[in-house]
Amino acid sequence: MSFDLVKAGEDMAFWDRLIRKYGKKIRECGWHGPLEPEQLETDMNYDALDNALNEALYEDGTEESFTESDGGGIPGSADYASITELLGKFFVTGSYVCGGPYDTYEEAADEAGLGYGEWDYDGEDEDEGEDEEQAEYEDDVLRPVLAEPPGTITNSIGMKLVPIPAGTFLMGSPKKEKDRSDDEVKHKVTLTKDFYLGMTQVTQAQYERVIDKNPSHFQSDEVSGRDSSEFPVEQISWDDAVEFCKKLSDLPEEKAAGRVYRLPREAEWEYACRAGSTTAFSFHIDGELLCDYAWYEDNSGERPHPVALKKPNAWGLYDMCGNVWEWCSDWYGEYSKSAVSDPTGPKEGSSRVTRGGSWISDAASCGSARRSWYLPSDRDDQSGLRVALSYPSEIHK
C-alpha cells in the first residue's frame, strides 16, 4: 500500500520493529537522537544513514528504497536534516507526538519541514514474529532522550524525580469497568501535599550503587550477556525496598539537600499513574494502546526491559504499567467507602501493596486501579520499586 511519510508514523508496529532491529546500524551512522540543525549538518554520515535505512526498509518489506524517491534520497521535499529530526521526534523519545510539543503528526511534519511525498511499503508481514523480535532486538533501540517535566530534579546518583502536584481524584474503579476487581472500591481522595516520584523504576545500576549488590535475576546469562544496568532491579522484598530508601537518604549529598526518600503511598501511586485520567488506563479506556506504554505478557518476550523505552504518561512517568510490580508503603486492606485525605492505608496487616503489573502480567493487571499484594519478605523476579520524596523545605523557597 502507499502512504505518506508522516502517516507512516502511525504504523508503530512496523517502525518499532524497524528501529529495534536496525537501531545499532543507524546509530553507527552518527544519529544518536534529536540534534540541532548545525549538528545534523556536521555529525551525520548521510550516505551511511541512507544505506542503512534502505537496507532496513527493503528487508522489512518496502518496495521502493529511499534513494528512488525525490529530494536527494528522502521522500518528497524532505532533506536529511529534517528526516533525521523527525525520526528523532518519532522514535528516540519513545513516542512520535505524545510527550512532545506537537498535537498532530501534521504539526510535527511541518516543524521538521517535511512534505507529503509518497513512498511504498508492503506491511503484510508486520506481525510475523513481532513479539520474538521485540525481545531479541530491544537492546539495540536508540536510548530515549527523557523529556523532563518542569521542576524535575536529578539527585546524586543520577535518579530523576518528577514533581507531582497536590490534588483530588477518584481512586479505585467504577463497578462497570471491564475486568475490575472487587477491592477497587471507588472513593474520593485528596492529597494535600505536593511530592516527587521517580521518573523511572529504580534500575539495577542505581540499586547496586546504593546497596553494593545487585540481587536481580535478569542479568548476565539470563539476558544473554547484555548490559542489564538499565533494567529495573527485581528480586527485592518490601523490606529491601525500605532499606534502599533509607540508605539513599543517608548519602551525604542527599542529606545536605534535605531529601528523605520513601516508598509511595498507594493513593500517591494511583494518583500519579492516572495523571489526571479517569479511565482504566491513563492513555485509553480499555488498554488498546498498552503495547506503546508497557512491557507485559503480550510483548515482553518473558523478561523485563530497560526502563523508559516505552511512552511516559501525561505527567512524564515511565513504566507505570508493566515491567515490574512496584512496592507501596501501605499494608493491604479494604478501602474507605467515603472521601478521605492523605490516606496511608491500614494501621496493620500481613501483606504490603504492589502496583502496576509486570513483564508477565496480563493487560488487566496493568490497569491504574489494579491492586496486588505480597508478604513484606517476599522476593521474586517481578517485583521492584520506584521512590517517592516529600518536598524538602528548601525546594519550596
Contacts of 87 (CB under 8 A, 6+ apart): 31
- For residues 352 and 374, is the Cβ–Cβ distance under 8 A? yes
Please, what is the average pLDDT of the chain? 75
Query: Is it the case that residue 387 has pLDDT exceeding 60?
Result: yes
Q: For 336-346, how does the pLDDT look when each residue is reduced to its tens digit (9 = 90+)?
A: 999 999 999 99
CA pair distance 379, 240, nearest whole angstrom: 9
DSSP bridge pairs for 284: 281
With b for 16 or more beta-carbon neighbours within 10 A and e for fewer, the 202-219 pattern comes to bbbbbbbbbbeebbbbbb
Residue 137: predicted pLDDT: 45
Per-residue CA distances from 6 to 35, 80, 206, 288, 365 (Å): 19, 15, 38, 22, 34
Q: What is the mean pLDDT of residues 295-306?
A: 94
Higher pLDDT, 397 or 200: 200
pLDDT at 255 over 60: yes
172-211 confidence digits (pLDDT tens): 999 999 999 999 999 999 999 999 999 999 999 999 999 9
Task: State pLDDT tens for residues 129-168.
Answer: 445 444 444 444 444 556 678 899 999 999 999 999 999 9
Q: Say if residues 97 and 150 touch (Cβ distance below 8 Å).
A: no
% of the chain with per-residue pLDDT over 70: 61
**pLDDT confidence of residue 244:** 98
Q: In what order do the strands lie in the sheet with 195-198?
A: 153-154, 160-164, 195-198, 388-390, 261-262
More confident residue, 168 or 31: 168
- Max mean pLDDT among 103-117, 211-225, 261-275 falls in 261-275
Residue 144: per-residue pLDDT: 53
Mean pLDDT to the nearest integer, 113-117: 33
Rounded CA-CA distance 323/379 in Å is 15
Residue 364 near residue 173, CB atoms below 8 Å: no
Q: What is the DSSP string of 50-77?
A: HHHHHHHHHHTT-SS-GGGSTTTSSSTT
Question: What is the model's pLDDT at position 29?
Answer: 52
pLDDT of residue 99: 32
pLDDT higher for 254 or 112? 254
The pTM of the full predicted model, rounded to 2 decimals, is 0.67
Please compute the mean of the pLDDT values over residues 60-69 and round it to a whole number: 41
Mean pLDDT to the nearest integer, 231-239: 98
Mean pLDDT, residues 344-368: 96
Q: What is the mean pLDDT of residues 83-89?
A: 45
Q: What is the pLDDT of residue 245?
A: 98
Cell numbers found for residue 9: 508514523
Q: Residue 161: its pLDDT value, please?
A: 97
* Beta carbons of 382 and 325 less than 8 angstroms apart: yes
In CATH, 153-396 is 3.90.1580.10? yes
Domain ranges in the chain with CATH number 3.90.1580.10:
153-396
pLDDT of residue 125: 37
Cα–Cα dist 21/377, whole Å: 39
